[in-house]
Structure 1
Amino acid sequence: MGRETEAAMLVLIGVLLVVLGFALRLNPLVVVTVAGIVTGLLGGLSPLKILDAFGNGFAGSRSVTLFIIVLPVIGLIERFGLQEQARRLIAKLGVLTTGRLLTLYQLIRQVTAALGLNSIGGPAQAVRPLIYPMAEGAAARRYGSVPPTMAEKIKGYAASADTVGVFFGEDIFVAIGSILLITGFVDSTYGLKLDALHVALWAIPTAICAFVIHGARLLWLDRQLDRMARELAPKQADAEVPQP
């Protein structure tokens, strides 16, 4: 039993490599590939079996590349004014500030992900063409103009609303790949029977905490934008003064 424990701990070196690689800001694809090879070798796999595992993993997750098919459609609808229409729509809704809009989107994203509907949102198909322009439009209605610094901040928070929502919402759905991966790994490695439904139920408190914490940060974004607008106002005024 001691040798098996040591072998299992040795395999965790791959996780350490991933953490170090990301901390050093190396290429994520190279970091994950090297960590996978090292983990396979430490686990006693032959090079052919490691290559086979990479092939099976790619074939099993090929659906993640389907967004490439959607990109031309998004480009066409943006070309014909989708972002402008989104800005006009949000300009008519005075109740929705930037923070409130993003909090509402995070809630919708989290609930739909909990129901297994992950593909209805995302950075490519929702955040860039719709959510960010609407959030920027809400800021433009409030401040008159959106400087580049403010726009970049809104972009980051719009992406975070989508990421946090789907990340903590999808684990509530029993048939999601992460739940099946956890239960399969625990069953095969440690011989423990882990029910997928129990894992999904225990993900609910985590999802609620994630919504409360990040939702508060999104609502606090309005105050950050207010402060940023006050700081940028004198600079814009100086820039508009004609030089003699």
Structure 2
Amino acid sequence: MEWIKLIGILIILIGFILKFDTIAVVIIAALATALVSGISITEFFTLLGEAFVNNRLVTIFLLTLPMIGISERFGLRQQAVILIEKMKGLTTGRFISLYVLIRQIAGAFGIRISAHPQFVRPIVNPMAQGAAKARYGDISEEDEDKIKAMAAANENFGNFFAQNTFVAASGVLLISGTLKSLGYDVPVSAISQTAFIVAIITLIITTIYNLLFDYRMDRKYGVKKNQKGDK
């Protein structure tokens, strides 16, 4: 009867199909599995508590999501757009390129910005959209989606290609350890210096790409009168 211990999987499957509350389904499945496995309710809650404590960093990450939602609900996006609209001459491409530079500088100092959910979606994308609307007025939904994609892509460029510029980054230590195991004595500073070159090349390429986007938008929509002096 060992197969009865798989009852948790069945409960999760049924719960997800019937669209019951996810957390409740998982806890009930875990409790059922514990009971059929001979684990008492007291032991079950002990294990559940230990798992919660051991993975508290994940829990903290999840708690930031409703905080971001509340911030958006009460005007974070609107204030970001208003701030950008006051900066004449700051185009979408220029702003996103500036963000890539900031992302790379933060990476060089080992400062981790919270990426897409906590930073790009509530702050970077609305500000990029605001820059476009301040320069062109209303734009098409298709171009709004392109700006969203640009904000997300440039976050990846700034993060991925500059994350090893910090000498104590996990990636740098992994590369150094792997090379040493293969007989190559390469200092972490050399790896970091190489990563700096890659980061600079990435910044140049992404800036050119973003400015070309501005050029295409200028040709498509023109520039509002109050922005022409900054063109």
Normalised to the residue count of structure 1, the TM-score between the two structures is 0.64
Cα deviation 1:87-139 (Å, max 9, x = unaligned): 11111111211111111111101111111002x34111111111110110111
The one-letter code of the counterpart of 1:199 is I
The residue aligned with 2:177 is 184
Q: Can you list the C-alpha shifts for 1:25-82, whole angstroms capped at 9, x where unaligned?
A: xxxxxxxxxxxxxxxxxxxxxxxxxxxxxxxxxxxx9967853232111001001111
| Shift, 1:228, TM fit | 4.4
Alignment of 1:226 with 2:214, yes or no, is no
Distance in 1 (CA, whole Å) between partners of 2:185 and 2:57 is 29
Given that 2:120 and 2:151 are in contact with CA atoms closer than 8 Å, whether structure 1 keeps it comes out as: yes
Larger radius of gyration: 2
Q: Which moved further from structure 2: 62-71 or 139-148?
A: 62-71
The one-letter code sitting in structure 2 at the alignment partner of 1:117 is I
Cα offset, 1:161, TM superposition? 1.8
1:141 maps to which residue? 134
Structure 1 residue corresponding to 2:190, chosen from 191, 194, 198: 198
Q: Is the 8 A contact 1:82 1:130 kept in 2?
A: yes
CA distance in 2, matches of 1:207, 1:65: 32
Is the alpha carbon distance of 1:138 and 1:69 closer, same or farther for their aligned partners in structure 2, counting shifts above 3 Å? same
In 2, the alpha carbon distance for the partners of 1:68 and 1:196 equals 33
Matches of 2:101 and 2:203, distance apart in 1:
7
The answer as to whether partners of 1:86 and 1:134 remain within 8 angstroms in 2 is yes
Partner of 2:151: 158
Q: What's the counterpart of residue 117 of structure 1?
A: 111
Counterpart of 1:19 in structure 2 is none
Separation (CA, whole Å) in 2 of partners of 1:128 and 1:97: 18
What CA distance in whole angstroms lies between the structure 2 residues aligned with 1:64 and 1:223? 42
- Deviation (angstroms), 1:194: 2.1
Checking the alignment, whether the CA contact within 8 Å between 2:77 and 2:122 is kept in structure 1 is: yes
CA distance in 1 between counterparts of 2:71 and 2:88 reads 26
Query: Distance in 1 between the 2:192 and 2:64 partners?
Result: 30
Q: Is the 8 A contact 2:176 2:187 kept in 1?
A: yes
Return the TM-score normalized by structure 2. 0.67
Query: Which residue number in structure 2 is paired with residue 82 of structure 1?
Result: 76
Would you say the 8 A contact 1:115–1:170 is kept in 2? no
Q: Residue deviations 1:123-157, cap 9 Å, x none?
A: 11111111110110111112211321001100111
Q: 1:62 to 1:149 in 2, by over 3 A?
A: farther
2:14 paired residue number: none
Determine the C-alpha separation between the residues in 1 that align with 2:160 and 2:58: 15
Q: Are 2:151 and 1:173 aligned?
A: no
Aligned counterpart for 1:217 among listed residues 206, 209, 212: 209
Q: Find out whether 1:97 has 2:91 as its counterpart.
A: yes
Structure 2 counterpart SS, 1:216: helix
- Structure 1 counterpart of 2:63: 69
Q: Across the two proteins, how many residue pairs are aligned to each other?
A: 169
| 2:199 aligned with 1:207 | yes
Percent of counterpart pairs with the same letter?
42
Assess if the C-alpha contact under 8 Å between 1:67 and 1:124 holds in 2: no
